[in-house]
Amino acid sequence: MRFDPRLLAELDALGVDPTAELSAAVAADPAWELTRLREEDGGLRIAVSREVAGDEELVRVYEELTAGLAADDPALEVALQVERDQRGGVTVSGTAGFRPPVTVGLAVDGVAVGEDAAALAGLVEESVTAAVELRMPGRLVSHDGVAVDRSTARIVLEPGVERRFSVTSQPPSWWSSLPVDTSTLLVVGALLAVVVGGVLLLVARRRRSVSREA
C-alpha cells in the first residue's frame, strides 16, 4: 500500500493514522510482518507479508483474509491455484478483484448519510491503486501483469472488476533454495486493500464531522 504525500498530509490534518488498524491486526498475528518505507518524494509505502510452508497454506491464507467480510465490505478478494511441473517450475493462477466501499458506514435515525457509492468510487480511483503482487521462487517465465523484478509480477486491478491472472516461474536456482524450502512463497497480504477501505471510511467520516462542526 502506498500513500502519496498529498493524501498523507490530508490524513495528518484529520488526525488519522493510516497504519493504526493494520498495525493492530499484524500485532495480533505474529505470522505477519509489517514494513514501512518512507520514499524520497515524501510518500509512505506499507507492506504486510508472511511466508508460507506450502501451496495449500498459500491458498488457505488468502481464503481466510476475506472469509469474515460482508458482501458490501471493501476488500481485495483473491482465489489462487498453484501448480508445479516435473522440473520444479511453478504456476500461480486465479482471480482477483478489488471491491471499493459503497458507504461511509454513518447513519442518523437509521438513514445512511455521507458520500454515496459513486462519490466513494471517485475517491478510491483518485487515491488508491489495488494490486496483487506475486514473488515467485524462480525467474519469471510468463505473466499477464507488470514485472517488478526477475521473480516478481504485479497484477493491477480496476475497482469492481474481477481480473484473471497467471504467473509462471522457473525452478528456484540452487543458491536461492539453500536458506529456505523450495516450496516457500512470499505472500503480499490482501489485507492491505481491506485496510485501505477502512482508511477511506475514516476520512469520509472525519470530513462529515468537520462539515457539521463548521
More confident call, 154 vs 61 = 154
Residue 81 structural domain: 2-213
Mean pLDDT (the chain, rounded): 74
Three-class secondary structure of residue 147 per DSSP: strand
Burial 20-33 (b: 16+ CB within 10 A, else e): eebbebbeeeeebe
State yes or no: pLDDT of 129 exceeds 90.
no
Residue at grid coordinates 517488478: 148
Query: For 21-59, how does the pLDDT look when each residue is reduced to its tens digit (9 = 90+)?
Result: 778 878 888 888 888 888 888 888 888 888 888 888 888
Q: Could you give the number of structural domains in the chain?
A: 1
Long-range CB contacts (< 8 A, 24+ apart) of 134-137?
Answer: 134/92, 134/167, 134/185, 134/188, 135/185, 135/186, 135/188, 136/90, 136/92, 136/167, 136/169, 136/185, 137/90, 137/169, 137/171, 137/172, 137/176, 137/177, 137/182, 137/183, 137/184, 137/185
Residues 50-106: pLDDT tens digits?
Answer: 888 888 888 888 888 778 777 777 778 888 899 988 888 899 999 998 887 766 555
